Structure 1
Amino acid sequence: MKHFNAVKETIGDLKADVAGMVIAASADIALIVDRDGAVLDLSYGEGDFRIEGSDRWRGRFLRDLVTPESLGKVERMLAGAAANERPRWRQINHHAKPGDIPVQYLALPLTTTGHYVVIGREMGTMALLQQKLIMAQQTMERDYERFRHAETRYRLLFQISGEAILVVSARTGKIVEANAAASRILGHQKGDLVGQNFFSGFDEKSTDDIHSLLEQVRTGGTCEDISVKRSDNAHSFFMSANLFTHHKDGLFYLLRLKPVEDSESASMVPRAKARIIEVMEKSPDAFVMTDQQGIIQAANRSFLSLVQLVAEQQVLGQSLDQWLWRPGVGLNVLLGTLREEQTVRLFSTSIRGEMNAVTKVEISAAAATRGDETCYGFVIRDVERRFKGIGDFEKDAGGSSESMTELVGRVALKDIVRETTDVIERMCIEAALEMTHDNRASAAEMLGLSRQSLYVKMRRYGVGEFNSQDRD
C-alpha cells in the first residue's frame, strides 16, 4: 500500500460525512467497529453486492458473523489495527445460504474515536472465476489423460496387429510409422523402415499403380485394393489405402499390405463357413439356434415345416419350449445338459406344430461360446417312421412278442419300453372299466390304484368321459 506524500496539504481535514462518503465509495462493504469488535455502523458501495441479514449486524460482534475458520483472522486483523501495524488484506467468510460469502477485509484505526473502520471487497466473483479456472484445468487434465490412454492403446494395437500397416507422408512420400508386421514382410529390422522412401522398394509397374492408387484416394476418398510387387524379393501384396489429416503436419496415407498367399488362404475360410450355412439352411433335418434361455435366433426351412409355419420371422424371438411336447420339462433338461456337458446326443421328444400335428423327434445339440456370449445349436431329426410299429402293436390286442421284436433295430429300447408300457396301462384301465361297468371306484380297487391316480391316468390316455364331480 502506497500513501499520499502530502495528505494535509492536498486533502486537509476531512469532515465526518465526507470521510464516510469516501469510505463507502471505495469499498463494497464498510464496517465501523469498536475496540471490542462490535459493529457500530455499516455501509455498501454502489454495486449490487449485498449480504443477506446484514441489516441486523449493528450491535453484534464481528466474530459472531463469520465462519469458524475465520475467527482467528478477525482477531488478528483487529489486533493489528489496534497496534498500528501495517494493514493487511484478509479473506473472511460470512455465514449465508446456500453457501458462505467470501469478503476481503482491511482494518484501519480511527484515532479521533478509538474505533476501527473495516473496509471489505467482495470476492464472490473472484471465487467464481477461480472455481471455473479450476474446473477448466481439471477438464483439460481429464482430456489429456484420455488422449494419452487413447494414444497408448493406438500404439499397442498398431504394433501387435498381424496386418502390415504403414503411415506415409503425402508430401514427402517417406514412411513416418511402420508396425512390426510391416517390417517383417518387407524384410527389414524393426524401426528401419521409418524415414525411408516408401516407393523405392517396388518395381516400376507397381510404383505407377501405387501413385495412381494414392491419387485416387486423395481425390475421391475411396479406392479398390491393388496388387503390387517388391523389386528386391519379388513378393506380391494386396495394398489398400486411406487418407487422414493431421492438424499440424498435413496429409498422411494409412497403407495396409497383405501377402497374396495369406489373402488367398484366409479367403477360403469365409467361403467354407458360407457353404456350411448354406448346407444347414437346405438340410432335411431341422436346425435352430437359440440363446442361453432357449430363445430362437435363427432357424432353417425344415424347422419351419416341422412346426407348421412358413416364415422365419414367425419363430424368431420365440422360445423353443413353445413347440416341445412337454413344455417346461424337455427344454430345461436340454439347456441344463448343454451348460454342463456342452453337447447333447439323441434326446428323444416330440414336436407339436401350430396345427397340433405331433411328430416324434431326436435332438442333438451343441454349445458355442465367443467372448461372453453363448449360443446353442439344435439339430432336430424326424423319427416318426421308426415308431409306426408301435402303433401297430397298440392295435394288436394280443401284444405278441413278434410285434415287439419287429421293432428292434428300428426303435431304441427305452422308447419301446415307454410306449409299450403306456399301451399296456391303457388296455388294463379299459378292461377294468368294462368289467366293472364303468364303476371307477371298483376299477381303481381292482387295479390297485387310488381313485385320484386312476382319474389322472384316464385323462392322460383319453379313456372314459368326465363330469364336474370327477376331480383329482
Structure 2
Amino acid sequence: MKAFKAPKTSLGDLDAEAAAILITAAADIALILDEHGMIRDIAFSSEELAAGMGEEGWLGRRWADTVAEDSRPKVEAMLRDVADRSLPRWRHVNQGTGKGSVPILFSTARAGEGGRVVAFGRDLRPLSALQQRLVEAQQSIDRDYARLRHAETRYRMLFQLWTEPVLVLDAATLAVLEANRAADQLFGRARRRAVRVFPDLFAGTMRERIQVMLAGLRATGRAEDMQAVLREDGREVLVSATPFRQENASLVLVRLTYRQGEAGAVVLPRAKSKMLRLIESVPDAFVVTEPDGRIVTANAAFVEMAQLGAEDQAVGQPLERWLGQPGVEMEVLTANLRQRGPVRLFATTLRGEYGARMEVEISAVSVMNGTGPCFGFAIRDIGTRVTMPARARAPRSVEQLSELIGQVPLKDLVREATDVIERLCIEAALELAGDNRASAAEMLGLSRQSLYVKLRRYGLGDLPGEMG
C-alpha cells in the first residue's frame, strides 16, 4: 500500500462529516468498529443496498457475530491485522442478513489513535450474477456444440449410406475431397488412397466434357446433367453437380446415377451373422473377428462407437482400422490370445469413422468354431473416467473415495487416497493450531512454503498476498 505523500497539506482541514462522506463513497458498505470489534455505525452507498442488507440489529454487536460461521475466523484475522498494523488484505466475508447471507469483500483500516477501525466492503452479488451468466452461456455453447456434432454425424451417416456414388470436389482444382462408400466401391479404391482429380475417372473425350460442364457450373452456378462413361468399367452414368460453399471455400457436390435397372448398380454387402440378443443390446461394444483380425459381426454399440451407419460397414473390415495404432495394438492382442489365452482390461483408444476418439478397455477371448479359432472382443468406453478434470472429481472423504472403486484404476485410487489423507491431516493441524500456519507446518514437519503450496493445491484457507 502506498499512502499520500502529504495528507495534512493536500486534504486540508478534513472534518468528521467530510471523512464520513469519503468513506461512504469509497465502499458499498462501511462499518465503524471500536477497539473491541463492536459495530458503532454503518453506512451504505445506496438506499437499495441498505434495504436489501437488512442491517437492523447490527449496531452494538460484535462484527464477528453478524457474519456466517465460516467467515468469523476471517473477521478475527482482519481485526488482528489492524491491531498489529499489518498491511490490510481483502477477504471474502458472508455477511449475515435477515434472509440469509450476502457475499461481501471486506478490508479494514485504522481510523485515528482511539482504536477505531473502518471496514470497507464491496458487494460481490453483481460479480456472482455475472459469473452465473457466464456459466449459463458456457452451458448453452456446450449444448449447441453437441447439437452441431450430432447433426454432423447424421450428415456423415447419410452421406455414407446413400446407395448412389456421391463425391465432394474442390471447385477450383476438381480434386476429390470426400467420397462415400458407394463411390469407393465403384472406382475400386480404398478410402485412404491419394485424392484423384474427378475428370480422370472418365474415359476418353468425356474428361473434357466433364471439365467444360464444371467450368460452366463455376461461372453460372448451375449445369445440366450429362451422360458420361466411366473409365474403370465402361459403364454409363448420369452426372449431376451442385455448387455450395463451406468455410469460405467453393465446393461441388457430384452425384452419379446409373440407368434404371442396370445390373451394375452398387450392391452393398448384406451378409450378417446373428448374435445373441443380450450381446446385441448391451451398452459395451462386442466384436467377433477371424484370426486375421477381420470383423465377422459386431453389435450395435460398436457400430455407434465407430460412427458407422450399419453393421454391414464393419463386416469384412480389419478391426485395427478403428483400434489404437494400426499394426501395434491388434498385434499385441492377437499374440496374447494365441499364446496366453484371454486378455483382460487392455487399455487403448478407439477412433470413430469421422474423427472421434475415446479411451477404451478391451477384454478378449479366443474360441474354436469348428473350422478354426475366432476372436471375441468386448470393448468398454472409459472416457467418462478420464475426461473429467481430476480436481473437479477429487474425493474429500473416505466415503467419496469408496464410490470411485470400480470406476477408476487402482493406481488412481491410491493417488486419490493419498490426497484425501494429506488434506485431512492438514485440516486437523490447522484446527489444532488455531489456523496458525507456522504452528501447523511445524506439527506436520513441513516448511511454511511447502505448507502454502499444499494449501493452494487443496484450496484451504487464505494465502498471504491473496484475497480471502
Query: Which of the pair is proportionally richer in helix?
Result: 1
Larger radius of gyration: 1
TM-score of the superposed pair, with normalisation by structure 2: 0.49
